[in-house]
């Protein structure tokens, strides 16, 4: 385990400028009394308060989702929100506090496509270091083909492999997950996949 303790901190309402700041940009996120130093027992510089020694850690985020199938069709959702509004993605989103990864994947399917899914395997764990994201993607079955666009989707659809709109896929990791599903298919037991060799989720 790392040395970090509870990430307690007080927030002050940020200025609009800050809203556009990168998730972990210390310049945008820290007051002047914080400075960069490596705490005792730690291995890299952290933002440390010069007054009381409080250490502010940045943490990667967890995305949970699924490749959910009904017979020979896969569920895709056309994004109603940025980034990549209008492009197709899997039902996926940020894991919530106090939620298991499987619970989160089921919740995202409901939220984005009103889809009830049954998880039947961990398809892949992807890392997207550029975004400091870990994506936990399950293989799942739709319990019914009754799907509808949730508030974050413009439309949703069930696609045969040859019908997938490859030119309009939102993110590289969506392509990875679709390809990994194609690889494992309905196998009862399969190894979880990871990033394709050399790929880290950047746009080409």
Site for a copy of itself in 131-150 (CB under 8 A): 132, 134, 136
Q: Answer yes or no whether residue 203 interacts with a copy of itself by CB under 8 A.
A: no
Site for a copy of itself in 66-105 (CB under 8 A): 79, 81, 89, 92-103
Q: Apex CA 51: angle with CA 49 and CA 57, to 5°?
A: 15
Min separation Cβ 22 and a copy of itself, Å: 6
Decide whether 37 or 192 has the Cβ nearer to a copy of itself.
192
Kindly tell me which residue out of 37, 61, 116, 196 binds a copy of itself, with binding defined by CB under 8 A: 61
Distance from chain centroid for Cα 184: 21
Burial 130-160 (b: 16+ CB within 10 A, else e): ebebbbbbbbbebeeeebebbebbeebbbee
Query: DSSP letter string over 86-146?
Result: TSEE-SEEEPPTT--HHHHHHHHHHHHH---EEEEEEEEEEEEGGGTEEEEEEEEEESSS-
Site for a copy of itself in 15-34 (CB under 8 A): 15-16, 18-25, 28-31, 33-34
The C-alpha atoms of residue 17 and residue 28 are separated, in whole angstroms, by: 8
Decide whether 159 or 190 has the Cβ nearer to a copy of itself.
190
Kindly tell me which residue out of 144, 167, 191, 197 binds a copy of itself, with binding defined by CB under 8 A: 191
Q: Answer yes or no whether residue 180 interacts with a copy of itself by CB under 8 A.
A: no
Decide whether 152 or 164 has the Cβ nearer to a copy of itself.
152
């Amino acid at each position: 385990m790392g040395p970090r303790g509870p990430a307690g901190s007080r927030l002050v309402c940020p200025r609009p400028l800050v809203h556009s700041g990168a998730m972990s940009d210390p310049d945008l996120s820290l007051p002047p009394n914080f400075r960069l130093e490596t705490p005792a027992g730690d291995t890299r510089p952290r933002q440390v308060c010069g007054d009381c020694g409080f250490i502010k850690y940045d943490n990667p985020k967890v995305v949970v989702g699924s490749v959910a199938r009904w017979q020979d069709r896969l569920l895709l959702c056309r994004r109603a929100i940025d980034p990549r509004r209008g492009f197709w993605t899997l039902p996926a989103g940020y894991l919530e506090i106090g939620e298991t990864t499987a619970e989160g994947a089921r919740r995202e399917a409901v939220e984005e496509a009103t889809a009830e899914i049954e998880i039947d395997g961990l398809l892949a764990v992807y890392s997207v270091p550029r975004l400091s994201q870990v994506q936990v993607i399950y293989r799942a079955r739709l319990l019914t083909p009754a799907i509808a666009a949730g508030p974050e989707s413009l439309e949703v659809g069930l696609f045969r492999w040859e019908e997938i709109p490859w030119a309009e896929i939102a993110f590289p990791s969506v392509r990875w997950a679709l390809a990994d599903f194609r690889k494992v298919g309905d196998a009862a037991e399969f190894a979880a996949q990871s990033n394709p060799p050399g790929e880290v989720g950047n746009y080409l």
